[in-house]
Amino acid sequence: MDQYQADLTLVGTDLTTFIAQNGGQLLLDVIGVDDVEKCFGDGDVEGCLWSVGDAVTLALPVLKLWEVPEIMAKIAEIAPKVAKFLDDVRKAKKDLQRLRDLIEAEKRARELEAQKNKGCLKDGAGWIDYGATEPGQRATTVKACLTNAMLNTGTSTGLNGPYSPGFRWAQRYAAFRGLTPAVANPSQIINRCHLLAKELGGSGTDVRNLSTCARDVNAEVDPGDLGQPANMKDFETAVAALLGKQDIVEYTVTPLYDGPRTVPYAYTMSATAWLSSGAPDPAAPASVTLSNILDTPTGPYNLGRVTSNGQPVPLPGME
């Protein structure tokens, strides 16, 4: 830092000031600033000053003869100092430029690092973290950092499974409440809900990402559906729109359970978004809690709060 300050001071010293500070005011007065500065650009500063000094003493007949030795002595004294000063200035400029280059390189490196880890990114990439399952293989949570590259990269639930815990039980319960195939399409009654949607890159074959849900909490069956006014699909669509404009989104979905039941009674969904610049995006949807409501001919029922003979159902081990 001391050398940096010294270099700044040196580079900031103009040439005439240096000469004046080193006893050369007489040269500036007699030879003139312009001629002295021209010599500064000459490769042979000392020789140039001697030539200018000779020319001046010859061109000024009014100059007192006793001043000529003083002028020539001052040239002899100041010329090597000027040469060294110019050399030092050149070195100082190079040192300062090297330092500026280092500072700029460090700045670029930090900017690149910030870009790599802006928002929730890790090493410049999105990620998905499925929480470990609990007893009965019930899903616990998913946390993800979503990017545009992850849109529509997920997978559907398989026709032959895996099935989320309580799925078969929920189908039987729906039929018990009057939702038979004669009344509604089975696929529009009970679903295996992705915690992280297929459209957002979620797996349809990893049980850590699946939970049994009523269709009403998953998505509207049709425009006349009597289910919830908001559903998981609404939230997912809003997040997909953010990703579509190159936002980065930190996304969390957590199923909520009542006691040991393996079917959730609700889902919490939250998202935090950043623009491509790294600034927060206020357009991120507000967090929601969606109840796992099954709409039936006999009324709405929460799949995660059903009892049978006074006991909570379904429990681990019940399909």
Structure tokens at 118: 């802006």
- 217: nearest Cα among 199, 230, 235: 230
Judging by beta carbons within 10 Å of its beta carbon (0-12, 13-18, 19+), is residue 50 exposed, middle or buried? middle
The helix/strand/coil state of 212 is strand
Residue 15 near residue 36 (C-beta atoms within 8 A):
yes
Is the predicted pLDDT of residue 140 greater than 60, yes or no? yes
Mean pLDDT of 72-97: 77
Say how many domains are in the chain: 2
Same-domain status, 87 and 160: no
Give domain status of residue 122, yes or no. Answer: no
How high is the mean pLDDT of the chain? 83
pLDDT range class, residue 65, cuts 50, 70, 90 = very low
Sign of CA dihedral 114, 271, 200, 165: positive
Give domain status of residue 121, yes or no. Answer: no
Least confident range of 10-24, 93-107, 265-279:
10-24
- Beta-strand runs (E) in the chain: 127-130, 142-146, 190-194, 210-214, 248-256, 266-274, 288-291, 293-296, 299-302, 306-308, 311-313
Residue owning tokens 């998905």: 128
Select the more confidently predicted residue: 50 or 276. 276
Same-domain status, 257 and 301: yes
Please give the Cα distance from 26 to 32 (Å, whole number): 9
* Numbers of helices and strands, H then E, in the chain: 9, 11
Same-domain status, 150 and 84: no
Least confident range of 98-102, 112-116, 252-256:
112-116
Judging by beta carbons within 10 Å of its beta carbon (0-12, 13-18, 19+), is residue 169 exposed, middle or buried? buried
Query: CB atoms < 10 A from the CB of 249, how many?
Result: 26
Same-domain status, 140 and 167: yes
pLDDT digits (tens, 9 = 90+) for 166-196: 999 999 999 999 987 766 676 679 999 999 9
Same-domain status, 155 and 46: no
> What is residue 39's predicted lDDT score, i.e. its pLDDT?
63
Same-domain status, 103 and 227: no
**154 Rama sector, left if φ>0, alpha if ψ -120 to 50, beta otherwise:** beta
Same-domain status, 156 and 254: yes
Give domain status of residue 319, yes or no. Answer: no
Give domain status of residue 157, yes or no. Answer: yes
Query: CB atoms < 10 A from the CB of 86, how many?
Result: 17
Look at residues 68, 88, 116 and tell me which one is the last residue of a structural domain.
116
Total count of residues recorded for the chain: 319
142-146 and 127-130 beta bridge pairing: antiparallel
> What is residue 312's predicted lDDT score, i.e. its pLDDT?
97
pLDDT digits (tens, 9 = 90+) for 146-167: 999 999 999 999 888 899 999 9
> What is residue 63's predicted lDDT score, i.e. its pLDDT?
47
Structure tokens at 260: 């040991």
Give domain status of residue 227, yes or no. Answer: yes
> What is residue 308's predicted lDDT score, i.e. its pLDDT?
95
Same-domain status, 227 and 283: yes
Same-domain status, 28 and 68: yes
Look at residues 116, 148, 164 and tell me which one is the last residue of a structural domain.
116
Look at residues 58, 81, 116 and tell me which one is the last residue of a structural domain.
116
> What is residue 180's predicted lDDT score, i.e. its pLDDT?
78
Select the more confidently predicted residue: 242 or 295. 242
pTM of the shown model: 0.67
Same-domain status, 154 and 290: yes
Q: Give the CATH number, domain containing residue 262.
A: 3.40.570.10
Same-domain status, 61 and 208: no
Same-domain status, 183 and 294: yes
The residue segments making up the domain with residue 67 are 2-116
**Residue 312 amino acid letter:** P
248-256 and 142-146 beta bridge pairing: antiparallel
Select the more confidently predicted residue: 262 or 52. 262
Maximum average pLDDT range among 54-58, 229-233, 235-239: 235-239
